[in-house]
Amino acid sequence: MSEKLWSGRFSEKTNKNVEAFTASIDIDKRLYSYDIEGSIAHCKMLAKESIITEEDASCLIKGLSKIKREIEQGEFQYKDSLEDIHMHIETRLAQEVGKVAQKLHTARSRNDQVALDIRMYLRDETLNIMKGLVTFEKEIVNVARSHIDTILPGYTHLQKAQPILLSHHLMAYYEMFSRDLNRFGDCLKRINVMPLGSAAIAGTTYPINRDYTAKLLYFPEVSANSIDSVSDRDFIIEFLSSASICMVHFSRLSEELILWSSYEFGFIELPDSFATGSSIMPQKKNPDVPELVRGKTGRVFGDLVSLLTIMKSLPLAYNRDMQEDKGPLFNTVDIIKSCIDIFINMLPKLKINKEAMGRAASEGYLNATDMADYLVNKGMPFREAHRCVGKAVNYALSRNKELHELAIKELQSFSSLFTEDIFDILTIQKMINSRRSFGGTGTENVTAAINEAEKKIEKEMKTLTKFINYDSDAKV
Ligand code: ARG
């Protein structure tokens, strides 16, 4: 009858539409190398525990390695009737090594096999993403350092608020991405758990050695409950949550680049190599790249919601619904990796218009808070100072002047506490450097933050490289 590995109890062929409907090969073929690596480790364990012979194991391993080469050289044939990557590889193995292929699936089910494959895949991709994020952090810090004295208006409610250093603004993004890095590192702990040996749901009657399989596959931990092992996709949900938060950060940064590169702001210019033109308006240089990052963020959120929704009503343990986990997962992995890569390359090439930023910071009453603080320092309660400066702003506005352009006499009409030294307080440089509170925009503060970040980045990179090389003592 059919070539299907599970066809024993069936007397009718699968409907063609059902084959296409249930097949996941187009999506899960990307797991092939993990599937093969996992199977090889499984063979070695079975042989070590004398569940199969050494000869059988080496025959299976040889066959599996050959299939890997075939897939990599594009010689492998895929078809819907074989459902998924696990069935494809096992069926091909039977053609290659004959009857012994039937021993590979001893003490194993596709339920624990697929859980293993996704965990191995996601462990690698999480590490790739983390490496990308550290590299991006480095780029942020580099630009921050080279703009340690560039001043721009800080905004609240998208209204000019107070002058800040561009480096301080950039370092805010460093903080966000460094939290993302921590979050992915935390996910990794729960991804890095070995489920194989849980079999379909209840474990197995064979005397398997799960610790040995885990060791061969560099897992520091073995899953504790067979039912949970085959039905748990929390680690994907956690990954997608972390990715969603990270994309929020990329999207906010993109939004600022879009805004700042507008004619109205003119704070930055995107590199030509990262912008596009209009098909009708010759003057246009459009920020399509950050716009697409912002747009793709929506798809990542959708992937998170997909997974949450797929899982929310599933009875224990494995249900076929869970096959739908891979599309959203792979989509998010692809998107976040491409966004990180784009930003690593785009950020250092941004043209920053220091003059436009400085000009914008010197107009719009950004020194009003400092003027109020000046009065407080001379003994006036803050609320009263706030009201007094508010009146001065109103007065200056009606005369089309900035606060520092008013004469001392005019200022004194609002408070007798004003003396000539107020004009020194109101300079931008003074405003920046008097914000010395920890975490504030004062130059010394920001320089210290940059120094600290550089040290941290170097450490993170070292730990990650160790982890990527599977050093057993490496901890993220
Ligand atoms: N392709 C399936 C998935 O990704 C593999 C597990 C199939 N298990 C089963 N009992 N049908 O979920």
- Residue 222 pairs in a beta bridge with 194
Q: What is the pLDDT of residues 273-293, one digit of tens each?
A: 998 877 777 777 899 999 999
Q: What is the pLDDT of residues 294-317, one digit of tens each?
A: 999 999 999 999 999 999 999 999
Are residue 323 and residue 244 in the same domain, yes or no? yes
Are residue 404 and residue 347 in the same domain, yes or no? no
Would 470 be classed as within a structural domain? no
Rounded Cα gap, residues 341 and 292, in angstroms: 13
CA 400 to ligand 1 centroid distance, Å: 71
Whether the CB of 318 sits within 6 Å of ligand 1: yes
End residue of a domain, out of 425, 440, 456: 425
Whether the CB of 116 sits within 6 Å of ligand 1: no
pLDDT at 278: 74
Would 140 be classed as within a structural domain? yes
pLDDT at 267: 98
Contact assessment for residue 428 and residue 434, using Cβ atoms and an 8 Å cutoff: no
Which of the residues in the chain have pLDDT under 50?
A: 1-2, 475-476
Whether the CB of 113 sits within 6 Å of ligand 1: no
Query: Atom 3 in ligand 1: which residue has the minimum CA distance?
Result: 323
Are residue 14 and residue 78 in the same domain, yes or no? yes
pLDDT at 256: 98
Are residue 234 and residue 285 in the same domain, yes or no? yes
Would 462 be classed as within a structural domain? no
Rounded Cα gap, residues 292 and 269, in angstroms: 17
Integer Rg of the chain from CA: 30
Q: Which positions are catalytic?
A: 157, 278
Are residue 16 and residue 68 in the same domain, yes or no? yes
Whether the CB of 88 sits within 6 Å of ligand 1: no
CA 289 to ligand 1 centroid distance, Å: 37
Would 100 be classed as within a structural domain? yes
Q: CATH number, domain at 28?
A: 1.10.275.10
Are residue 181 and residue 278 in the same domain, yes or no? yes
pLDDT at 467: 85
Whether the CB of 84 sits within 6 Å of ligand 1: yes
Query: Atom 4 in ligand 1: which residue has the minimum CA distance?
Result: 323
End residue of a domain, out of 399, 425, 451: 425
Are residue 86 and residue 179 in the same domain, yes or no? no
CA 470 to ligand 1 centroid distance, Å: 28
Contact assessment for residue 90 and residue 110, using Cβ atoms and an 8 Å cutoff: no
pLDDT at 163: 95
Would 448 be classed as within a structural domain? no
Would 87 be classed as within a structural domain? yes
Are residue 338 and residue 391 in the same domain, yes or no? no
Tell me whether residue 57 is exposed, middle or buried, using C-beta atoms within 10 angstroms of its C-beta: 0 to 12, 13 to 18, 19 or more.
Answer: buried
CA 26 to ligand 1 centroid distance, Å: 14
CA 320 to ligand 1 centroid distance, Å: 6
Using alpha carbons, list the distances in angstroms from residue 114 to 28, 256, 356, 442: 10, 41, 55, 53
Query: Atom 12 in ligand 1: which residue has the minimum CA distance?
Result: 323
pLDDT at 476: 43
Are residue 168 and residue 305 in the same domain, yes or no? yes
Q: What is the pLDDT of residues 204-219, one digit of tens each?
A: 999 999 999 999 999 9
Are residue 261 and residue 164 in the same domain, yes or no? yes
Q: Residue 393 sits in which domain range? A: 368-425
Are residue 374 and residue 353 in the same domain, yes or no? no
End residue of a domain, out of 106, 141, 167: 106
Q: CATH number, domain at 235?
A: 1.20.200.10
Are residue 387 and residue 304 in the same domain, yes or no? no
Would 115 be classed as within a structural domain? no
Rounded Cα gap, residues 273 and 349, in angstroms: 9
Whether the CB of 111 sits within 6 Å of ligand 1: yes
Rounded Cα gap, residues 411 and 414, in angstroms: 6
Would 461 be classed as within a structural domain? no
Using alpha carbons, list the distances in angstroms from residue 154 to 58, 374, 382: 65, 20, 22
Count of residues for the chain?
Answer: 476
**Crossing angle for the helix pair 54-72 and 85-97, nearest 10 degrees?**
120
Domains identified in the chain, total number = 3
Contact assessment for residue 344 and residue 136, using Cβ atoms and an 8 Å cutoff: yes
- What phi, psi does 160 have (nearest 5°)? -55, 135
